[in-house]
Amino acid sequence: MLFDTHVHLNAEQFDEDLQEVIERAKDAGVSYMTVVGFDRPTIKRAMELAEEYEFIYACVGWHPVDAIDMTNEDLLWIEELTAHPKVVAIGEMGLDYHWDKSPKDIQKEVFRKQIRLAKKVKLPIVIHNREATADIVDILKEEDAAEVGGIMHCFSGSPEVALECLKMNFLISLGGPVTFKNAKKPKEVAAVVPLEKLLIETDCPYLAPHPYRGKRNEPGYVKLVAEQIAEIKGISFEEVAIVTTANAKKLFDIN
Ligand SMILES: [Zn+2]
């Protein structure tokens, strides 16, 4: 029983064979998934999937790379969607300094607006961080994001930063990179962070785990992430599956 907490089955990469991808996920033991929408088309599709499939939940928000495109109407729309029973979190939101489509000040403003919305509607937040750790931590502190907490999605930082995030009421989610042979930091993070504070994800179609690195990722591969964490922690795969699923259900307030 696995919970893939971050999928983009709403991406066009799954248009042709979505049903088969979902069947393979079920065969691999995936019982729940959260599909993440981060702009107009992907939010719409995330909502459709959450309505169509009982085991799919939705997370809706605005991606920092596209922050410059978010209007006030979009933010109001996201707020309306949070009333839907299958919407379990807001995001992905955050900062991405790798791409320069949206200036940093606009990214920060859009990030802050979404944190405030999450506090208003009392939902956890899902954080996307690329090359912006210090500013993310500062904003989470300044906005008192600990009040709602959430997920550091596909965490790639150091064990020290991971422990700082735990103090701010965030869980650490590990994806495909923890399985890469040369991925020192994610493996250290998997070792240091208590299992009760860990989640697993694929971020599919991106970041496929070893041995599928470079190929299209899919939710069934989250099993490889759980197996790697079990190996690093010296515990059973079943324990990783049970505890990370319970962590996700608690955070997303699923029965
Ligand atoms: Zn994502």
Which two structure tokens, joined as six digits, stand for 75? 């933010």
pLDDT value of residue 110: 98
Question: Ligand 1 centroid vs 153 CA: distance in angstroms?
Answer: 8
Which two structure tokens, joined as six digits, stand for 206? 């991106």
User: How do residues 4-15 score in pLDDT, each as one tens digit?
Assistant: 999 999 999 999
Question: Ligand 1 centroid vs 218 CA: distance in angstroms?
Answer: 13
CB under 5 Å of ion ligand 1: residues: 203
Question: Ligand 1 centroid vs 128 CA: distance in angstroms?
Answer: 7
Question: Ligand 1 centroid vs 33 CA: distance in angstroms?
Answer: 13
93: left (phi over 0), alpha (psi -120 to 50) or beta: beta
- Identify whether the C-beta of residue 76 lies closer than 8 Å to the C-beta of residue 44: no
Question: Ligand 1 centroid vs 7 CA: distance in angstroms?
Answer: 7
- Identify whether the C-beta of residue 109 lies closer than 8 Å to the C-beta of residue 143: no
Question: Ligand 1 centroid vs 5 CA: distance in angstroms?
Answer: 10
- Identify whether the C-beta of residue 30 lies closer than 8 Å to the C-beta of residue 245: no
Question: Ligand 1 centroid vs 67 CA: distance in angstroms?
Answer: 15
pLDDT value of residue 255: 87
Question: Ligand 1 centroid vs 232 CA: distance in angstroms?
Answer: 24
Low-confidence ranges of the chain (pLDDT < 70): none
